[in-house]
Amino acid sequence: MTRANACLCAVVLLLAGCYGLGAGVKLPPLETARDFLVAHQPEEPGYGLYSYLLFGSPPTPASRDRALAEQQQARQAYEALLAERAAEQAAARPGGPVVGFELLREAIPGLERVGVLLDANQRSLAQYLDEIEAPVRALGIQMLRLAVRGPDEIGAAFPHMTKERAGALIVLAGPLFFEHRERIAKLAIERRLPIMSSVVGLVEAGGLMRYIADYYELWRLAARYVDAILHGADPAGLAVEQPTHFALTVNLRTARALGLTLPQSILIRADKVIE
């Protein structure tokens, strides 16, 4: 196995473990990638694999505390960089940060209220919604936030959306919703709520549309970071790269079940259409 392939396998395995993203991807055994990476990890003290790959036995309290401190510093630096590049990021993503709302409005004439299902345990999501509230309102759409803390609260969110007369639902990405994607899709169809989501597998399970960065491109970017670090590069000196390709998936079966006729303007832009 080459170093690049080992890095890519490691990244995919890590993402698969966290978010279930490795479904359908053929990979060599975990031990193969792990053994290769362990054999090539940097010799400098303090730069073991624990810094960026969660393989092997649980960390010791000392190494865990050190990793958490490094992670916090990296997060603060990254958030500062993202703040500086907010406008640049919006321009890089076709349609900007509210493209999901724009696609729903295009697909559903007269749409005025959209529910947003989010995991309350992911605190950054609330801040994200605060930042896009004004541009969403400028589209003539009222955003209805529905934060849940666990699977037991998912079912109760749907009657609330019906009561608030939501015409569609956006499901923000997270492990909780990936795990319960089929249940969410079923509840949405029962309530006749079209779903726009970046959750992997949710559109295939019965959501209406997904618009998201190409995960394979993200894996390749992550693999390059891992490879550079294994070669001794300083992580703080690595440039922050943004995805450049975003894919639109449309589920026509769900559209028919909901009585929707999607306009050609959406269908011709779709990278994948589920018949």
**CA–CA gap between residue 113 and residue 161 (Å, rounded):** 10
Query: Rg (Cα) of the chain, in Å, rounded?
Result: 21
Note the pLDDT tens digit of each residue in 89-131.
Answer: 444 444 456 889 999 999 999 999 999 999 998 888 888 888 8
Confidence (pLDDT) at 79 = 52
Note the pLDDT tens digit of each residue in 118-166.
Answer: 999 888 888 888 889 999 999 999 999 999 999 999 999 999 999 999 9
Using 50 as the pLDDT threshold, list the residues of the chain that sit under it. Answer: 1-31, 33-34, 36-37, 40-59, 82-95
CB neighbour list of residue 184: distance below 8 Å, 6 or more residues apart = 117, 154, 171, 177, 195, 202, 205, 207
For residue 50, count CB atoms less than 10 angstroms from its CB and return exposed for 0-12, middle for 13-18, buried for 19 or more: buried
CB neighbour list of residue 12: distance below 8 Å, 6 or more residues apart = 21, 22, 25, 27, 219
Asked whether 176 and 151 are in contact (CB, 8 A), the reply is yes
Confidence (pLDDT) at 69 = 67
Q: How far is CA 259 from the centre of its chain?
A: 28
List, in sequence order, every residue forming a beta bridge with 211; answer none if it has no partner.
248
CATH topology of domain 91-213+247-274: Rossmann fold (3.40.50)
Confidence (pLDDT) at 195 = 97
Task: Give the number of other Cβ atoms within 10 Å of residue 207's Cβ.
Answer: 27
Residue 5: closest CA among 227, 233, 210: 227
The pTM score is 0.66
Edge-to-edge strands, sheet with 195-197: 142-148, 113-119, 168-171, 195-197, 209-213, 246-251, 272-274
Asked whether 237 and 225 are in contact (CB, 8 A), the reply is no
Asked whether 227 and 240 are in contact (CB, 8 A), the reply is no
Confidence (pLDDT) at 220 = 79
DSSP-derived secondary structure for the chain: --HHHHHHHHHHHHHHHHH-TTTT-----HHHHHHHHHHTS--STT--GGGT---SSPPPHHHHHHHHHHHHHHHHHHHHHHHHTHHHHHHHSTTGGGHHHHHHHHHSTT--EEEEEEETT-HHHHHHHHHHHHHHHHTT-EEEEEEESSGGGHHHHHHHHHHTT-SEEEE---HHHHHTHHHHHHHHHHTT--EEE-STTHHHHT-SEEEEE-HHHHHHHHHHHHHHHHTT--GGGSPPP----EEEEEEHHHHHHTT----HHHHTT-SEEE-
Confidence (pLDDT) at 21 = 39
Confidence (pLDDT) at 131 = 87
CATH 3.40.50.2300 in the chain, residues? 91-213+247-274
Confidence (pLDDT) at 233 = 83
Task: Give the number of other Cβ atoms within 10 Å of residue 254's Cβ.
Answer: 22
